Amino acid sequence: MLDIGHDVLTARQFERSDLTRLAEVAERLEPIARGEKVCRVLEGAVMANLFFEPSTRTRISFGAAFARLGGAVLDTSGLETTSIVKGESLSDTARVISGYADVIVVRHPTPEAAKIIAGAALVPVINGGDGEAEHPTQALTDFYTISKELKARGKPIDGSTIVILGDLRFGRTTHSLITQMSVFDDITFHLVSPEALAMPEAYADIARKRGHTVKVFRTLEEGLAGADVIYATRYQSERFQIDPTVREAAERLRLDAKSFRAHAPEDAVILHPLPRDEVFGELATDIDAMDNLAVFRQTDNGVPIRMALFVTILGVADSFHEMTRTPAWPLRRRPE
């Protein structure tokens, strides 16, 4: 059970009770995340945003989450060009930075880097993505979004059908998603991809071993049938050579207003971890006007769920509401 002082390193560490609890806390934090309430519970605390590779959105999402709670954020996005090139070990860097901060968020191109850093740091470490391996806060954001979207449609997660669509081989968030959602009961996963970009069996096996149904499809017609959730991903074309066969197969799996209406249930929710590739068009913008598209609600959700992690591991999940007030500025966001 995630508790004060713990690290957040892998999607595998969260059991159902963790997810339920984090979603409850995140929901209570939403008005603060949106600037409708002000909370200064972490005033005086420092978070080090330790980015060894650029990822503006993840960095800013963590930064906003910590700042919304009153904490100070120190960004270290230039790390690859400094101490590291002088031959310093990741452990030394981690130990040093942990003397400056109360919590560390780390993004690193190397698998296991977050684990090494957590081993050397004196403060809790949150994995903000380590190479191919893990991106647990993205998985939490995806879970939280699915949870809220299904709830809004009067459906439980247990028993739902989740379609995972696109590049299931290199899209690491799809691996985390199937892992994370497998803690629930009786899910039917539809894995829809070009054959060359199928999900590695190891991840499908995680779902099967927990008693879920895993079906593999090569067409939208079959794949989208019965979907409660459709999780599309970008083709990671910087990581593999797209040959004409793959490209053709991928093009047949493009999700747009037409293919969605033709094959998906009317109330299916569409997620995508973003960025979507607007050139390739795996998730067309003609869907943007449809309320089914939850991708921006999904990015919005990244802030409260990360806030939920911060208040939990810093030990203020049960007390932050006492330090919440109405903001001095009246501005509210424009309606979407």
Distance of alpha carbon 17 from alpha carbon 128, whole angstroms: 22
Q: Is 86 a catalytic residue?
A: yes
| Catalytic (active site) residue 324 | no
Nearest to its own copies of 48, 181 (CB atom):
48
What counts of helices (H) and strands (E) characterise the chain?
11, 11
| Among 59, 107, 108, 306, the one annotated catalytic | 107
Task: Write down the least CB distance from residue 207 to its own copies, Å.
Answer: 28
Cα(75)–Cα(131) distance, integer angstroms: 19
Q: Is 16 a catalytic residue?
A: no
DSSP string, 170-238: T-HHHHHHHHHHTTSSS-EEEEE--GGGPPPHHHHHHHHHTT-EEEEESSHHHHTTT-SEEEE----TT
Q: Least distance in Å: CB of 10 to its own copies? A: 19
**Of 80 and 267, which CB lies nearer to its own copies in the complex structure?**
80
Smallest gap from Cβ 226 to its own copies, in A, equals: 29
Closer to its own copies at the Cβ: 93 or 180? 93
Considering the complex, state which of residue 33 and residue 157 has its C-beta at the smaller distance from its own copies. Answer: 33
For the question of residue 57 being annotated catalytic, the response is yes
How far does CA 231 lie from the centroid of its chain? 12
Task: Supply the minimum distance, in Å, between the C-beta of residue 17 and its own copies.
Answer: 22
Please give the Cα distance from 168 to 156 (Å, whole number).
25
Three-state SS for 51?
strand
* 258 catalytic per annotation: no
Q: Which of 16, 57, 153, 261 is catalytic?
A: 57
Q: Which of 59, 68, 108, 135 is catalytic?
A: 135
Catalytic residues: 57-58, 86, 107, 135
